[in-house]
Amino acid sequence: MASPTLITPTTSTPKPLSPIKSKPTTNPATTSTAAASAASATVPRRNFLKLAAAAAAIISPALLLPVTPAALAAEEAEYVKETSDVINKVRSTINLDRNDPNVATAVAELRETSNFWVAKYRKEKSLLGRPSFRDMYSALNAVSGHYISFGPTAPIPAKRKQRILEEVDTAEKALARGR
């Protein structure tokens, strides 16, 4: 026995569907002059969105909040200070002895610091071409990749350690030169 909810084929031809008729929004006989003038003054939503997008493109945030040279200098000083702090943390962490009981916490702190530094400065277009940023980013990538792959207590191989320290040194020299 067939279920009443299932559609079963039949031999009769289906009835054609009736077309959908749109409903009138206003009745012309009852429209007052005030309602007519209000309807003509309203802007369709699509046009409003186009105008809003055009206005937003014209009035950029850079025009609304001008950046002063003092603010740029403060950001530069902050970048130099934070990068120097990260350099010192990298050096101290990779030079720790394998059997030191604080290795795991030092690596965790280094990863947190490096993640914060990368997240903060990777989106700054003015820093992306700087040698200090490039070398520091490369060194942090190598250190983080090693500890992620091999664990926080695994010693860094001598060749990798030497390359990381060279990149950190060149980043520090570039920072000192303002690059």
User: Quick check: is 170 in a domain?
Assistant: yes
DSSP structure class, residue 98: T
Residue pLDDT, tens place only, 155-166: 888 899 999 999
Comparison of pLDDT for 35 and 47, the residue scoring more: 47
Closest CA to 163 of 134, 179, 142: 142
Distance in angstroms (rounded) separating the CA atoms of residues 174 and 164: 15
Comparison of pLDDT for 101 and 41, the residue scoring more: 101
Q: How many residues does the chain have?
A: 179
User: Quick check: is 82 in a domain?
Assistant: yes
Cβ count within 10 A of residue 137: 19
User: Quick check: is 60 in a domain?
Assistant: no
User: Quick check: is 112 in a domain?
Assistant: yes
User: Quick check: is 101 in a domain?
Assistant: yes
Residue pLDDT, tens place only, 118-157: 888 888 777 778 888 889 889 999 999 998 898 888 888 8
99 φ/ψ angles, rounded to the nearest 5 degrees:
-90, 0
pLDDT of residue 56: 66
User: Quick check: is 63 in a domain?
Assistant: no
Closest CA to 111 of 95, 93, 98: 93
Distance in angstroms (rounded) separating the CA atoms of residues 108 and 99: 16
- Residue 113, C-beta contacts closer than 8 angstroms, at least 6 positions apart: 85, 86, 89
User: Quick check: is 1 in a domain?
Assistant: no
Residue 49 has pLDDT above 80, yes or no: no
pLDDT of residue 70: 44
pLDDT of residue 88: 92
Average pLDDT over every residue of 27-32: 53
Structure tokens at 17: 């569907």
Q: Domains in the chain: how many in total?
A: 1
pLDDT of residue 42: 60
CATH code where residue 148 lies: 1.20.58.810
Residue 174 has pLDDT above 70, yes or no: yes
Its domain, for residue 111, covers 69-176
With cut-offs at 50, 70 and 90, classify the pLDDT of residue 10. low
Residue pLDDT, tens place only, 52-101: 777 666 665 555 555 444 444 457 778 888 889 999 999 998 888 878 88
